[in-house]
Amino acid sequence: MSLKRRLLPAIYRAIYLSGKVAHDGGITILSYHSLDDYNTPLSVSPRLFSTQMAAIASEGCPTFTMGQVAQHLTAKVPFPPRAVAITFDDGFANLATVGAPVMARYGFTGTVYIITGMVGRTTHWTDRGVALPPVPLLSWRQIEEAQQSGIEIGAHSVTHGFLTQYTSSELEHELCHSKAQLEQLLGLPVSAFAYPQGDYNNSVVAATRTAGYLTAATVDQGRAHLRSHPLRLPRLLVSGNTSPAALRAFTAPTIGPAYRLVNLAFRRLLGRKNWPRRSPGEVQSTDVLAETGAL
């Protein structure tokens, strides 16, 4: 057995136990993309997802929508121990066919971030020049059904482009039009946003606030606390090799700043492909490249 394989369970155990000792009042926001067997940087297999949800359930983790997260952050009310928010970026159709039934089994809720300009379409995305398998996205009807089943609907822009590269009017369109379209469909306020590609800066954050969003999720690795900026929320990126033990450990790390050090150690000592594998923020959409004239 390699050193790596022997070391990881011990690290996860230590983090897990640290979470048992004291509660920091924070919440772990999980970031999923597609539940498929393609083994891309965006993939978590249906089988692994099922095991991960079982692990969270076995810990008795209460789940929160991002709307509920906003309420806690605004009122500065600590989250209960082992609180988890399950989020899905991009709105892949496999959330409806694979994810939602598993979550319903455990009474879990979650939030899905929709790219409104791509609803009902199929992704044709690349990862460092290599084409990823096409995957269908949720239809408007499936989005409505997801909302009716208790999953909160958030926005993920109109075109999934890099928001920091837009003019202020383009940025406003990406933020406001996606919000308005979803609100019209659902008849409910949409208050949750996720930055496409994890791309944001101060101007984007300010525009997101002006657009009326209460929370915005990044792809920065970390755990959210009551002191976290609601429009710069860190998340735990879940990939196809995030073991249930790792997930269980990070549902309540009280080690605070040490989290970043552990994460750094994973990258430096154990290799980036171990955990987290790599940032989905590095995956580019061919749609975006086409729009910017790169294609």
- Token pair of 134 as six digits: 């096409």
Region of residue 160 (phi > 0: left; psi between -120 and 50: alpha; otherwise: beta): left
With CB atoms as reference, the residue minimizing the distance to Zn ion is 89
Question: Shortest approach of Zn ion to residue 156 CB, angstroms?
Answer: 6
Question: Shortest approach of Zn ion to residue 27 CB, angstroms?
Answer: 21
Residues 6+ apart with CB under 8 A from 5: none
Could you please report the per-residue DSSP string of 141-170?
Answer: HHHHHHHHTTPEEEE--SS---GGGS-HHH
Which residues lie across from 89 on neighbouring strands? Answer: 113
| Nearest-angstrom CA–CA distance, 230 and 214 | 7
Question: Shortest approach of Zn ion to residue 89 CB, angstroms?
Answer: 4
Which of 8, 69, 49, 23 has its CA nearest to residue 229? 69
Question: Shortest approach of Zn ion to residue 226 CB, angstroms?
Answer: 26
Nearer residue to Zn ion within complex by CB, 26 or 196: 196
Question: Shortest approach of Zn ion to residue 160 CB, angstroms?
Answer: 6
* One-letter amino acid for residue 174 of the chain: E
Nearer residue to Zn ion within complex by CB, 59 or 90: 90
Nearer residue to Zn ion within complex by CB, 89 or 174: 89
Question: Shortest approach of Zn ion to residue 239 CB, angstroms?
Answer: 14
Question: Shortest approach of Zn ion to residue 83 CB, angstroms?
Answer: 24
* One-letter amino acid for residue 171 of the chain: L
Mutual angle of helices 202-210 and 168-186, in 10-degree steps: 40
* Binding region for Zn ion (CB under 5 A): 89-90, 196
Nearer residue to Zn ion within complex by CB, 50 or 218: 218
Contact 152, 110 (CB under 8 A): yes
- Token pair of 208 as six digits: 């997101």
Nearer residue to Zn ion within complex by CB, 89 or 287: 89
Residues 6+ apart with CB under 8 A from 200: 163, 164, 208, 216, 218, 232
Nearer residue to Zn ion within complex by CB, 19 or 91: 91
Nearer residue to Zn ion within complex by CB, 113 or 259: 113
Strands (E), 36-178: 43-44, 84-90, 111-114, 125-127, 130-131, 152-155
Which of 234, 243, 232, 242 has its CA nearest to residue 278? 242
Contact 231, 208 (CB under 8 A): yes
Question: Shortest approach of Zn ion to residue 56 CB, angstroms?
Answer: 23
Nearer residue to Zn ion within complex by CB, 90 or 174: 90
